[in-house]
Amino acid sequence: MAYLLHSPIHGETFVKEVARRLLQSVGFFKNPETPAPEKFPLIIHATGGTTAAALDLVKKSGARGAVLLGFGEHNSFASVLHAKAEIEALGLPVVTYHCPSYNQCGDVAARAKKVADTASSLVGAKAVLIGSETYQAQAAREKLGWAVEVVPLEKFEEAVDASEPDDELLKLFGDDRVAKVATALEKVSAGANLVAIQCFPFLMKRRYTPCLALALLNSRGRVVACEGDLAAGLAMLMSRGLTGYSGWIANVVCHGGAEAVFAHCTIALNMAKSWRIMPHFESGYPHGLAAELKEAVYTAVSISPRFNKAALGRVEVVRSGNFLQEACRTQAQVRFRRAVKLEEEAPANHHVFTPGDVVDEAEAVLRLLAIPTSRY
């Protein structure tokens, strides 16, 4: 994934020192003369005179774009800017990173690699949609090259009925029906990066929700989206790549000025400071999850249903838990950096909350995916 380019005129000693300094942050360097197929390679310009090599690498690898890193010594950043212009002229997206010196570039290099790796993982992902075919599923195939398998609800119900209860969920929540849902979700999504379930048809037929199963599986490292929302699933996969957390899908409840309230009936257990079971909001069926959010700062990301625009921003939690009667059970009142008009600015209802401030990194990933973004 990472490539180190240099011009022989700058000397091997300097290049070896650059490689030594950055190796710990990027893992290892591939041979730029024989690149493997890549989606978004990280190209580090150790010296000037490397624009042609960067272009050649992008073309040979069949890349969809690139992440470029340079620094102040040996005309490194000059080559980054030149390569950026040339790659963009090919119609490909580019994200650039700069360090004043290669001696102090470890954190930036690690961030650049995480962006490149995350964006690469989101192209050609495998998803399972439980329910019925949607326009969104087709858009995911066309826009992102996803392999989306649709599992009819009836087939999933058969898997639930044939499954053994998940031991951990049974111990935590004591409901063998939902514990079977967790097992079935893992079975039908084996080998997939994402599973999304159209949960309302399921709960209306079965008279209980899959929410607790989603809360547990997302805390285990799986990515499971509710309401069959593959766009929110994309944001969750991005969250997982950037932070290790799957993120929390939330509905917009209300907003005014710089503050807004979001809510949903489930959240990954490892993102919750405390939680309790309540009846599901709309149906009154068991179960919804009411939780307090663990972190004080989040990155909120919303992606349109057809993956053609996104909005994101840093938010601070004012309060969370269950403080509104007429809303989904996990609720968060948050403050944006500015006054927002979500009725005009939000590209979709669902917003995925990622722990911490990774707004710049998320925006860079979306740029590589050719999804235009705006900031809250």
Show me where the domains of the chain are located: 2-122, 126-375
CB 43 within 8 A of CB 83: yes
Per-residue pLDDT band at 256 (split at 50, 70, 90): very high
SS3 235: helix
Q: Please say if the pLDDT value at position 9 is more than 90.
A: no
Confidence of residue 10 (pLDDT cuts 50, 70, 90): confident
Average pLDDT over every residue of 116-120:
98
Proportion of the chain above pLDDT 70, given as a percent: 100
Average pLDDT over residues 11-39: 93
| Long-range CB pairs of 51-60, under 8 A, 24+ apart, other chains included | 51/79, 51/82, 51/83, 51/86, 53/5, 54/5, 54/79, 54/83, 54/86, 54/87, 55/83, 55/86, 55/87, 55/90, 57/3, 57/5, 57/32, 58/87, 58/90, 58/92, 60/35
What pLDDT, in 10s, does the model give residues 54-92?
999 999 999 999 999 999 999 999 999 999 999 999 999
Q: Which phi and psi angles does 85 have, rounded to 5°?
A: -60, -40
For CA atoms 246, 251, 253, 259, the dihedral sign is positive
Kindly indicate the confidence band of residue 12, based on its pLDDT and cuts at 50, 70 and 90.
Answer: confident
Query: Cα separations (Å) of 22 from 7, 122, 299?
Result: 18, 25, 28
Task: Note the pLDDT of residue 1.
Answer: 81
Q: HSE-up of 189 (CA within 13 Å, CB side)?
A: 25
Query: Looking at residues 111-126, what average pLDDT do you find?
Result: 98
Structure confidence at residue 91 (pLDDT): 98
Question: For 85-88, which contacts have Cβ atoms below 8 Å and span 24 or more sequence positions?
Answer: 86/51, 86/54, 86/55, 87/54, 87/55, 87/58
Q: Does the pLDDT at position 51 exceed 90? A: yes
What topology does CATH give the domain 2-122? Answer: Rossmann fold (3.40.50)
Query: What mean pLDDT, rounded, does the chain reach?
Result: 97
Looking at the predicted structure, is the pLDDT value of residue 270 above 90?
yes
Q: Is the dihedral of CA 345, 347, 351, 356 positive or negative?
A: negative
Q: What is the pLDDT of residues 165-209, one digit of tens each?
A: 999 999 999 999 999 999 999 999 999 999 999 999 999 999 999
Mean pLDDT across the stretch 20-38? 94
Complete DSSP assignment for 183-203: HHHHHHTTT-SEEEE-HHHHH
Q: Is the pLDDT of residue 237 over 90?
A: yes
Instruction: Return the ∠ at Cα 56 (arms to 102 and 44), rounded to 5°.
Output: 10
Whole-prediction pTM value?
A: 0.97
